[in-house]
Amino acid sequence: MAYEVSDFEKEVFERSYAIPVLVDFWADWCGPCKVLGPMLERLAGQSDGRWTLGKVNTEEHVEVARKYNIQSIPNVKLFIDGVVVNEFVGALPEYQVQRWLETAIPSKHRRQIEQAEAFLVAGNPGPARVLLELTLSIPCCTFRCGDFRAWPNFPPQRGGCYGDHRTRGFAPVRLRHV
């Protein structure tokens, strides 16, 4: 599969509104890039469509590298909704990259959770509760605790996934009485 980016605006920026895009900034002369690049390609192939990979050669895309302040390579940035939300620099061991991906890549349920939070902010707890209960009814193996990492005391005591996920005790204060 070809991961090389030719049109950054379209293949990274615009695409990141539909799916998280992991961008590997690299160059031919960079030894660590030659180690990290194939590893990222392999992990992208195993991602089950949760994220996609784009590779940007900093020698060919100097303006893009300058825009994103690439001073050392390899440099990996995660784009979601057109914004860099996480990054790392250097060739990490595969287990560290996998751990980083587990925490950095949001759940596919992120949009439902954001929508529920918008209902709460607008003062509509009923639709928020329904949406969150539907989201929490998803089988444990597809639910990611990272969705709720900033919400104390969530999920509610009934329903939801408690398995090995660290969701217990995470929810916004305003959800406690929903």
Would you please indicate which residues are annotated as catalytic (active-site) residues?
30, 33
Cα-trace Rg, the chain: 19
**13 Cβ contact partners less than 8 Å away, ≥ 6 residues apart:** 79, 82
Instruction: Report which DSSP code applies to 142.
Output: G
Q: How far apart, in Å, are the Cα atoms of 154 and each of 14, 51, 164, 176?
A: 32, 26, 15, 8
What strands, in cross-sheet order, belong to the sheet with 83-89? 52-57, 21-26, 75-80, 83-89
